[in-house]
Protein backbone atom coordinates (compact mmCIF):
# COMPACT_ATOMS: atom_id res chain seq x y z
CA UNK A 1 0.00 0.00 0.00
CA UNK A 2 1.14 3.55 -0.67
CA UNK A 3 1.46 5.88 2.26
CA UNK A 4 -1.88 6.12 3.99
CA UNK A 5 -2.24 9.83 3.26
CA UNK A 6 -1.52 9.31 -0.46
CA UNK A 7 -4.00 6.42 -0.63
CA UNK A 8 -6.70 8.53 1.02
CA UNK A 9 -6.05 11.35 -1.46
CA UNK A 10 -6.27 8.82 -4.33
CA UNK A 11 -9.66 7.62 -3.12
CA UNK A 12 -10.96 11.19 -2.73
CA UNK A 13 -9.67 12.11 -6.21
CA UNK A 14 -11.28 9.02 -7.70
CA UNK A 15 -14.59 9.81 -6.04
CA UNK A 16 -14.50 13.38 -7.40
CA UNK A 17 -13.41 12.46 -10.92
CA UNK A 18 -15.08 9.11 -11.51
CA UNK A 19 -18.60 9.31 -10.13
CA UNK A 20 -20.87 10.14 -13.01
CA UNK A 21 -22.63 6.77 -12.74
CA UNK A 22 -24.43 4.62 -10.14
CA UNK A 23 -25.99 7.56 -8.33
CA UNK A 24 -22.53 8.97 -7.57
CA UNK A 25 -21.51 6.00 -5.40
CA UNK A 26 -18.44 3.82 -5.93
CA UNK A 27 -18.20 0.42 -4.29
CA UNK A 28 -15.20 -0.83 -2.32
CA UNK A 29 -14.29 -3.56 -4.83
CA UNK A 30 -14.31 -1.09 -7.72
CA UNK A 31 -12.12 1.36 -5.78
CA UNK A 32 -9.71 -1.40 -4.82
CA UNK A 33 -9.35 -2.63 -8.41
CA UNK A 34 -9.16 0.76 -10.12
CA UNK A 35 -6.70 2.24 -7.63
CA UNK A 36 -4.65 -0.96 -7.35
CA UNK A 37 -5.05 -1.10 -3.57
CA UNK A 38 -5.56 -4.11 -1.34
CA UNK A 39 -9.29 -4.67 -0.71
CA UNK A 40 -9.01 -4.72 3.09
CA UNK A 41 -6.86 -1.59 3.02
CA UNK A 42 -9.45 0.08 0.79
CA UNK A 43 -12.29 -0.78 3.19
CA UNK A 44 -10.22 0.52 6.13
CA UNK A 45 -9.44 3.77 4.29
CA UNK A 46 -13.08 4.24 3.25
CA UNK A 47 -14.14 3.84 6.88
CA UNK A 48 -11.48 6.34 8.02
CA UNK A 49 -12.59 8.86 5.39
CA UNK A 50 -16.21 8.30 6.44
CA UNK A 51 -15.38 8.94 10.13
CA UNK A 52 -13.61 12.15 9.08
CA UNK A 53 -16.73 13.30 7.22
CA UNK A 54 -14.99 13.54 3.84
CA UNK A 55 -17.09 10.78 2.28
CA UNK A 56 -20.48 9.25 2.95
CA UNK A 57 -20.32 5.47 3.41
CA UNK A 58 -23.08 2.90 3.43
CA UNK A 59 -23.27 -0.86 3.15
CA UNK A 60 -24.53 -2.16 -0.18
CA UNK A 61 -27.68 -4.26 0.15
CA UNK A 62 -29.75 -6.46 -2.09
CA UNK A 63 -33.49 -6.05 -1.64
CA UNK A 64 -33.96 -9.83 -1.58
CA UNK A 65 -30.89 -11.00 0.39
CA UNK A 66 -29.90 -7.98 2.49
CA UNK A 67 -26.26 -6.80 2.89
CA UNK A 68 -23.91 -8.05 0.18
CA UNK A 69 -20.58 -7.21 1.86
CA UNK A 70 -19.66 -4.13 -0.16
CA UNK A 71 -19.23 -0.58 0.98
CA UNK A 72 -20.55 2.25 -1.15
CA UNK A 73 -18.89 5.64 -0.93
CA UNK A 74 -19.49 9.11 -2.28
CA UNK A 75 -17.57 12.29 -1.57
CA UNK A 76 -19.11 15.07 0.52
CA UNK A 77 -18.74 18.82 0.06
CA UNK A 78 -16.37 18.79 3.03
CA UNK A 79 -14.26 16.14 1.25
CA UNK A 80 -14.18 18.16 -1.99
CA UNK A 81 -13.09 21.28 -0.13
CA UNK A 82 -10.50 19.33 1.88
CA UNK A 83 -8.97 17.87 -1.28
CA UNK A 84 -9.09 21.23 -3.07
CA UNK A 85 -6.91 22.76 -0.34
CA UNK A 86 -4.29 20.01 -0.40
CA UNK A 87 -5.88 16.99 1.20
CA UNK A 88 -4.02 14.53 3.37
CA UNK A 89 -0.72 15.19 1.58
CA UNK A 90 -0.78 18.79 2.79
CA UNK A 91 -1.79 17.72 6.30
CA UNK A 92 1.02 15.14 6.30
CA UNK A 93 3.53 17.77 5.12
CA UNK A 94 2.39 20.16 7.86
CA UNK A 95 2.70 17.45 10.51
CA UNK A 96 6.15 16.55 9.20
CA UNK A 97 7.20 20.20 9.27
CA UNK A 98 5.90 20.48 12.83
CA UNK A 99 7.84 17.36 13.91
CA UNK A 100 11.02 18.73 12.31
CA UNK A 101 10.47 22.11 13.98
CA UNK A 102 10.01 20.36 17.34
CA UNK A 103 13.26 18.45 16.82
CA UNK A 104 15.09 21.64 15.83
CA UNK A 105 13.78 23.45 18.93
CA UNK A 106 14.79 20.51 21.13
CA UNK A 107 18.30 20.40 19.65
CA UNK A 108 18.64 24.18 19.98
CA UNK A 109 17.50 24.04 23.60
CA UNK A 110 19.93 21.23 24.34
CA UNK A 111 22.82 23.08 22.70
CA UNK A 112 21.88 26.21 24.61
CA UNK A 113 21.97 24.25 27.88
CA UNK A 114 25.37 22.79 26.98
CA UNK A 115 26.73 26.26 26.20
CA UNK A 116 25.39 27.61 29.51
CA UNK A 117 27.03 24.73 31.41
CA UNK A 118 30.33 25.31 29.56
CA UNK A 119 30.24 29.04 30.33
CA UNK A 120 29.52 28.28 33.99
CA UNK A 121 32.42 25.79 34.12
CA UNK A 122 34.69 28.36 32.47
CA UNK A 123 33.60 30.94 35.05
CA UNK A 124 34.44 28.53 37.88
CA UNK A 125 37.85 27.89 36.32
CA UNK A 126 38.55 31.63 35.94
CA UNK A 127 37.52 32.21 39.55
CA UNK A 128 39.81 29.38 40.74
CA UNK A 129 42.72 30.89 38.80
CA UNK A 130 41.98 34.31 40.28
CA UNK A 131 41.94 32.76 43.75
CA UNK A 132 45.34 31.14 43.10
CA UNK A 133 46.77 34.49 41.99
CA UNK A 134 45.33 36.15 45.07
CA UNK A 135 46.90 33.46 47.28
CA UNK A 136 50.30 34.03 45.62
CA UNK A 137 49.90 37.77 46.10
CA UNK A 138 48.98 37.22 49.74
CA UNK A 139 52.03 34.95 50.16
CA UNK A 140 54.26 37.70 48.72
CA UNK A 141 52.74 40.25 51.06
CA UNK A 142 53.36 37.92 53.98
CA UNK A 143 57.00 37.47 52.93
CA UNK A 144 57.36 41.25 52.63
CA UNK A 145 56.04 41.72 56.15
CA UNK A 146 58.53 39.12 57.48
CA UNK A 147 61.34 40.91 55.65
CA UNK A 148 60.15 44.21 57.14
CA UNK A 149 60.32 42.63 60.59
CA UNK A 150 63.73 41.04 60.05
CA UNK A 151 65.39 43.98 58.30
CA UNK A 152 66.12 46.03 61.44
CA UNK A 153 67.49 42.94 63.15
CA UNK A 154 69.73 42.18 60.18
CA UNK A 155 70.97 45.78 60.04
CA UNK A 156 71.85 45.60 63.70
CA UNK A 157 73.71 42.34 63.18
CA UNK A 158 75.63 43.83 60.27
CA UNK A 159 76.71 46.75 62.46
CA UNK A 160 77.95 44.33 65.12
CA UNK A 161 79.92 42.38 62.59
CA UNK A 162 81.49 45.56 61.27
CA UNK A 163 82.71 46.49 64.73
CA UNK A 164 84.40 43.19 65.42
CA UNK A 165 88.03 43.26 64.57
CA UNK A 166 89.31 40.15 63.14
CA UNK A 167 92.99 39.42 63.04
CA UNK A 168 94.19 37.15 60.40
CA UNK A 169 95.55 33.84 61.59
CA UNK A 170 99.31 33.49 61.89
CA UNK A 171 100.75 30.71 59.84
CA UNK A 172 102.63 28.04 61.71
CA UNK A 173 106.19 27.40 60.97
Q: Give the C-alpha separation, 110 to 119, whole Å.
A: 14
Count CB neighbours of 103 within 10 A. 10
pLDDT tens digits for range 2-19: 688 888 888 888 888 876
pLDDT tens digits for range 66-122: 556 688 888 888 999 998 899 988 999 999 999 999 999 999 999 999 999 999 999
* For residue 146, pLDDT beyond 80: yes
Instruction: Quickly state the pLDDT bin for 139 (edges 50, 70, 90).
Output: confident
pTM higher than the cut 0.85: no
Amino acid sequence: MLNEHKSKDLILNHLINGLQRKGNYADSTELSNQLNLDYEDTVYLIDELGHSGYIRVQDATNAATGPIGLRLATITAKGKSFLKYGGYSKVQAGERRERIWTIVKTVAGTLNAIVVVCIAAWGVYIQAEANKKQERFNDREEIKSYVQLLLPILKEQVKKVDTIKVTPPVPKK
